Amino acid sequence: RHWQSAHLQEALPLLVMGFFKKIVVADTIKSIADRVYSLDEPSKIILLAGTLAFTLQIFADFSAYTDLSRGLARLLGFETSPNFNAPYRALTPADFWNRWHISLSTFLRDYVFYPLRRAILRHKNLPAWLAQAIPPLLTMFISGLWHGAGWNYLLWGVYYGLLSLLYQSAGISGIVQGKWSQVKRLGLWALMFGFIVFGWGLFRAGSLSWFFHILLHSPFLAQPQDLLMCLVIASMLAFYSLPLLIQPLSRPGSWAQATYFAGLTILTILYTNSGNPDFIYFQF
């Protein structure tokens, strides 16, 4: 392999984006999510705000991990596949897993889901519904187990398995086809995003008993200050999400793109400190 200047040109945006997502976005938002999930009994609206913070944190953290990996590989002349494809734009559970952690999702699909489904279908005496129910449930259970042996990870995996069955029984295809109107797509997106956020709540919860106690017994709004705190958190999430949302708008090679990445670099330097925590997925 021979190094080429094109490798640097292709790697630099990935490296800048990776450092920005990790240092500026994920590590800043982490303090919000950690604070909420360390409270003894937050109100439901505070829990929602903290879970939305974690929703942004885990995406920025894990996609940063992927961007840096791909950027470093590109410097050495290797082209590795992207691991994310706008996962929060998903309309169904299958669509989400086709966009999130694509390497793991593809592996589980090819080596767990399809072989298991074929094995069940070969037994003609088994009920047909088993071939529809068992593969997604077991596949997503293994996905949860891959993240750790904690009950929250296992329940998170089963949750997505059940969610896939629910969408399947409702007749909604894995990736929604063009027959759906924009209004229906917007409704499907809002519903799926709500399911995603709830799933991240299960994933982040240090204790399932704590999580479900808040959902079942904690007041929606414990005190007036809760609403103000939620507005502050929401404004911070919007502020730190904005650079990630406007990235696709800059045309490659344009002055707008150059200015965009220069701004990200400056912000990353300003936010850099010696105490940055590890990536979330290091523990997995």
What Å distances lie between residue 120 and 86, 116, 160, CA to CA? 33, 6, 21
Q: Which of 38, 18, 41 is nearest to 220 (CA)?
A: 41
Question: 76 in helix, strand or coil?
Answer: coil
How far apart CA 186 and CA 116 sit, in angstroms, is: 34
Return the residue matching tokens 């490296």.
15
| H-only helix segments in 123-217 | 128-147, 151-169, 182-204, 208-217
* List 2, 101, 123, 147, catalytic entry: 147
Q: Catalytic residue at 147?
A: yes
DSSP 267: H
How far apart CA 109 and CA 98 sit, in angstroms, is: 10
* Cα angle: 242, vertex 243, 249; to 5 degrees: 100
What Å distances lie between residue 188 and 88, 107, 238, CA to CA? 12, 27, 22
Catalytic residues: 147
